[in-house]
Amino acid sequence: MRVITGIYKGRHFEVPRSFKARPTTDFAKENLFNVLNGYLDFDEEPEALDLFAGTGSITIELLSRGCGKVVSVERDAQHFRFISQIVDTLKAPNCYLLRADVFRYLDRCNEQFDFIFADPPYALKNLEDLPDLVFRHNLLKPDGLFVLEHGKTNDFSAHPSFKEHRTYGSVNFSFFKAKETANE
């Protein structure tokens, strides 16, 4: 796993072979962040939420690019420890790691974010519910962006907040956008 750009650019971290997590490929991650540059102004220090953080690859990339705050949620103890070690090694400020079930976290979260990323296991039985949960709990700030990584069999194009779909190899990203103001 490598950091593509920003203050931690070029740093490499070896993901243990025993990991159950499937990290977002560097190719897909690089293309994702190229697209995100059209949606987010990293100079504005956006606040981000990384759900199903896995290896922490997206969390670290967000911190490297200048997010003012990143909340990273991961349930697996081994994965959580790995992310914690990376954050400690980098002395990354403004990173809040939570070892928690994502669905319980979403039900209790009372914060809003400029950007939310979710990379659940592709076989997760309630993966299809994630966009509705994010919007039902009002977790995005006005004009905020939610990106869901998923397998090729999922189609979110009928969702009212859906904006676009991108595919990079076997990795699929669906983009959802919050309304600009709460009155719209």
Residue 118 DSSP SS3: strand
- Tens of pLDDT along 93-139? 899 999 999 999 999 999 999 999 999 999 899 999 999 999 999 99
Distances, alpha carbon 2 to alpha carbons 17, 108, 153, in Å:
16, 32, 28
* Three-state secondary-structure class, residue 82: helix
Could you give the strand order of the β-sheet that contains 113-118, starting from the edge strand earlier in sequence?
A: 95-99, 69-74, 47-51, 113-118, 140-150, 171-177, 162-168
Give the tens place of pLDDT for each residue, 42-72.
999 999 999 999 999 999 999 999 999 999 9
Cα separation of 180 and 38, whole Å?
16
Give the residue with greater pLDDT, 26 vs 111: 111
Predicted TM-score of the model (pTM): 0.94
Residue 181 pLDDT grade (very low, low, confident, very high; cuts 50, 70, 90): low
pLDDT for position 20: 78
Which residue from 100, 85, 80 is spatially nearest to 21, judged by alpha carbons? 80
Mean pLDDT across 159-183: 89
Taking all residues of the chain, what is their mean pLDDT, rounded to a whole number? 93
Query: How are beta strands 95-99 and 69-74 bridged, if at all?
Result: parallel
Provide, rounded to the nearest whole percent, the portion of the chain with pLDDT above 70: 97
